Structure 1
Amino acid sequence: MATHTPHRESPWRDPFGRAASRAAQVLLLAALFALLGLIFFRLQMVVVAVLVALILACAVFPLVRRLSDLGWPRVLATLTTFVGILVVLAAFIAAVVWAVADQWDSLMAAAQQGWQTLQDASARLPFAVDGAAVQEIWSRIQGVASGGAVEQSALTGLTTAGEVVTGTVLMVIVLFFFLQDAERIWGFLLSWFPPRHTEKLRRTGRDTVRILGGYVRGTAAVAVIEMLAIVVVLWLLGVPLAIPLAMLMFLGAFIPIVGPIVAGALAALVALVTTGPWAALVVVIAVFVIHHLETGLLRPFVMGRTVRLPALVVLLSIALGTLVDGVVGAALAVPLTAVAWSVIQLWLPRPGRIGDPAHGL
């Protein structure tokens, strides 16, 4: 008579086995992300140039499509849009250089003096303030603002300038091909995936173009409004260097939450030195009001549902982007995070969204 051998459960089916399996999956994903990070740092210039070109192409591609629908030849529509965006970018860069570069030393000197004034005032407070820690914070801010130029040698500066020029030329070339052959490039990429995923991939592409394009156009519109608002406030208060401060406010708008606050703090420091504490207080209040109008009214009105990320996610993405690639990484972090979140929601659907009132804590 045959004996019955008891069935032995696989060691991977018990709680510890499942936990070990998940841990192995996490380690595998961590290794994959580490490899991607290594590739990014090796090819940082190329990756950043392609990402900037992609974002700009998403912003202006609707114009190419609109001109094509009106009967323009595709090449003419592409060239018109391409030359137009290059002219706009060149004019913007020239305006920033004219407004900021020539007065950057005066701007930083005024900010330094304002910071020193705050330090002197803090020494008279009833509670102790660690002056060394405060000075360390200011030194780090100066280092970020100057890009570490003081510590760089001439050879390093030339190398950096060469990389910037090379990356800019690469970005311009890639931008043209994105505008000219967007459908062909996308079709080539789709051909590498199984047909059952085609529809989701098409939706992913449409969402990416919508999010990146809407983010750039909306942020630019919001930045112009903020720049005009702060320049009017500074002009009414009689604060000098109003134009470079307004341009910094414009640039800061492309780094949500953090950028406008840093630019506003710089404007308040300049106002403190040049006009007085009451003017600085008015600038702080104006920046506070502009910031809340931006987050509560301007961005939702201009962008609609383009970028809907919690403030904590925005801050964490900016921090991570800053660690990866400085100011450029901080500017690219939010739109790329919004695209990633949209892709995750599309490919990994859930019964409900995290954050809905029905989920609670």
Structure 2
Amino acid sequence: MGLPSSVWTGVTGWREAVVRRAESAPAGPNGHEPPAVVPVLTASEDIDRAVPAGLRLAASWAWRIILVSALLYGLARVAGYLSEVVIPVAVAILLAAMLTPVANRLRAWGWNSGAASAVTLLGGIVLIAGALTLITSQIVAQAADLSTNVVAGFNNLVTSLQNSRLPINASYFDTAAWGERIQKFLTESRSTIASYAAEVGSQVGHFVAGLAITLFSLFYFLYDGRGIFTALLRFFPRESRSRVDHAASNGWRALSGYVRATILVALSDAVVILIGALLLGVPVAPALAALVFIGAFVPLVGAFVSGTVAVLVALVALGWVQALIMLGIIIFVLEVEGHLLQPLLLGRAVKLHPLAVLLSIASGIVVAGIIGALLAVPLLAFAKSFVEYLRGHKIPRTDATPSPVGDEPDAGAAVPDQEPAAASDVESGEPAGTDPVPVPDRG
């Protein structure tokens, strides 16, 4: 009996030890001891844990920035390669933003889409042709007086330089010597001039082709802008089409408001400069005002550069005093534009920081010259409103049930009439305009 008793005592002690250990251990959800979880790290995860968190965050940002930059660079290269098509289409989009209200008004009066688009396009062409005809007739009518004033002003300038104490050689004022120099330069640069003439002829051909593309695209943007945009939406995932549609509509409203406000600002600048030039008696004042009107479409610098031409004409034709007065008028126009007209008219359309405007214009000049400077700020206005809408609205979950969106989006319009959501509403985190607002088809 001694051996069985010892075995029984050992088993009993072992059972009591197991019970005490079970009572001291935390119970699992089913009353049993939870299984011990031992983390197993791979070699790469072990290395990642050894890298500081700040460096991991910087690396994550870095490769994403590099990827986005490469994508933008590739798109820029493609756009540059197809610039003879991209630039006319971009100009047509700006013109469509300006002329769409006219076409919509004609449709509201009962016109069909084709007739309204054609009349709007032809009316714009007639208006531009009439303005160019008026300017050309003014220049031709005052060409004789202008040439006489220019010659007299140049002679006065030469006389002033001769009588001054500046160390200028007297041979520079010999007209016969200047004639010989010009003739010699033309003779030596004959091949260069011929190459430039051929290049100018080629550029004229490209301009005519681009003008045809612009007019053709503009007609279809006015006629079937909504259909074209709906076709582009099919490249996006089905569950995000409605959201992209609303964001694009928000950007289109900002772009339309910007273009209309810019027209009013440019018209105001041209009218003030026209009045000042007429009061001073500056030759070809209507032509100078038209030049200022065109230049004012480039914010901050356009009106100043085009107004400098008016100052130079006043200097050569009238003298220093009138030129200084004309310069004062230009400065007054720039101050009124920068501190009154742009904040008042452009503030409702889109708010852009002056530094962002200046940098976008400089970038546009580097990329595409004058056309780039013209298109940079409208593109920035659209992109800002588009991104603000996307940032202020929640991204649909991928595991959610897709909304019943077919090939066409549920709401939104390519040419909406509503005002864009304010930046403060978007930044506050409240999704503005989440409910779809049905807008009649624009054609």
Q: TM-score range by the shorter chain?
A: 0.7 to 0.9
In the alignment, structure 1 residue 215 sits paired with structure 2 residue 273: no
Distance 1:164 1:82 in 2: 19
**Equivalent pair of 2:267/2:293 in contact (CA under 8 Å):** yes
**Equivalent pair of 1:59/1:212 in contact (CA under 8 Å):** no
Equivalent residue for 2:54?
15
- The AA in structure 2 aligned to 1:186 is F
Distance 2:204 2:277 in 1: 34
**Equivalent pair of 1:271/1:280 in contact (CA under 8 Å):** yes
1:55 corresponds, among 82, 87, 94, to 94
Deviation at 1:20, TM superposition (A): 2.3
Going from structure 1 to structure 2, the CA distance change for 1:5 and 1:99 (only over 3 Å counts) comes to: same
Deviation at 1:266, TM superposition (A): 2.4
Q: Deviations over 1:194-242 (max 9, x none)?
A: 3432333222232233223222222222222221211211121122232
**Equivalent pair of 2:312/2:323 in contact (CA under 8 Å):** yes
Going from structure 1 to structure 2, the CA distance change for 1:317 and 1:287 (only over 3 Å counts) comes to: same
Distance 1:253 1:106 in 2: 27
Distance 1:321 1:289 in 2: 27
Equivalent residue for 1:83?
122
Deviation at 1:168, TM superposition (A): 0.5
Where 2:350 maps in the other structure, the secondary structure is coil
Equivalent residue for 2:66?
27
Q: Deviations over 1:78-126 (max 9, x none)?
A: 22212212222333444455557996x969x79x969x89x97xx989x
Equivalent residue for 2:359?
316
1:347 corresponds, among 367, 384, 390, to 390
Equivalent residue for 2:17?
none
Going from structure 1 to structure 2, the CA distance change for 1:353 and 1:69 (only over 3 Å counts) comes to: closer
Going from structure 1 to structure 2, the CA distance change for 1:268 and 1:251 (only over 3 Å counts) comes to: same
Distance 1:200 1:113 in 2: 63
Q: Deviations over 1:5-25 (max 9, x none)?
A: 677262677322332232222
Distance 1:38 1:239 in 2: 45
Q: Which moved more, 1:341-350 or 1:80-89?
A: 341-350
List gaps (5 residues or longer) in structure 1: 126-148, 355-361
Deviation at 1:267, TM superposition (A): 1.9
- 1:70-109 equivalence runs, <5 A: 70-95=109-134
- The AA in structure 2 aligned to 1:163 is H
**Equivalent pair of 2:266/2:296 in contact (CA under 8 Å):** yes
Normalising by structure 2, what TM-score?
0.64
Equivalent residue for 1:37?
76
**Equivalent pair of 1:99/1:247 in contact (CA under 8 Å):** no
Going from structure 1 to structure 2, the CA distance change for 1:171 and 1:287 (only over 3 Å counts) comes to: same
Equivalent residue for 1:130?
none
Give percent identity, aligned residues only: 34
Equivalent residue for 1:153?
196
**Equivalent pair of 2:273/2:289 in contact (CA under 8 Å):** yes
Distance 1:266 1:327 in 2: 17
Going from structure 1 to structure 2, the CA distance change for 1:170 and 1:353 (only over 3 Å counts) comes to: closer
Equivalent residue for 2:276?
233
Distance 1:99 1:8 in 2: 80
Q: Which structure: larger Rg?
A: 2
Going from structure 1 to structure 2, the CA distance change for 1:81 and 1:155 (only over 3 Å counts) comes to: same
**Equivalent pair of 1:233/1:283 in contact (CA under 8 Å):** yes
Distance 1:306 1:273 in 2: 41
Equivalent residue for 1:262?
305
Going from structure 1 to structure 2, the CA distance change for 1:95 and 1:48 (only over 3 Å counts) comes to: farther
Equivalent residue for 1:297?
340
Where 2:46 maps in the other structure, the secondary structure is coil
Equivalent residue for 1:331?
374
Normalising by structure 1, what TM-score?
0.78
Q: Deviations over 1:309-344 (max 9, x none)?
A: 111111111111111221111111111111111112
Distance 2:259 2:138 in 1: 22
- Greater fraction of residues in helix: 1
Q: Deviations over 1:11-50 (max 9, x none)?
A: 6773223322322222222221221121111100100011
Distance 2:38 2:224 in 1: 71
Root mean square deviation of aligned Cα:
3.6
In the alignment, structure 1 residue 184 sits paired with structure 2 residue 227: yes
Distance 2:139 2:74 in 1: 39
Going from structure 1 to structure 2, the CA distance change for 1:201 and 1:94 (only over 3 Å counts) comes to: farther
Equivalent residue for 1:128?
none
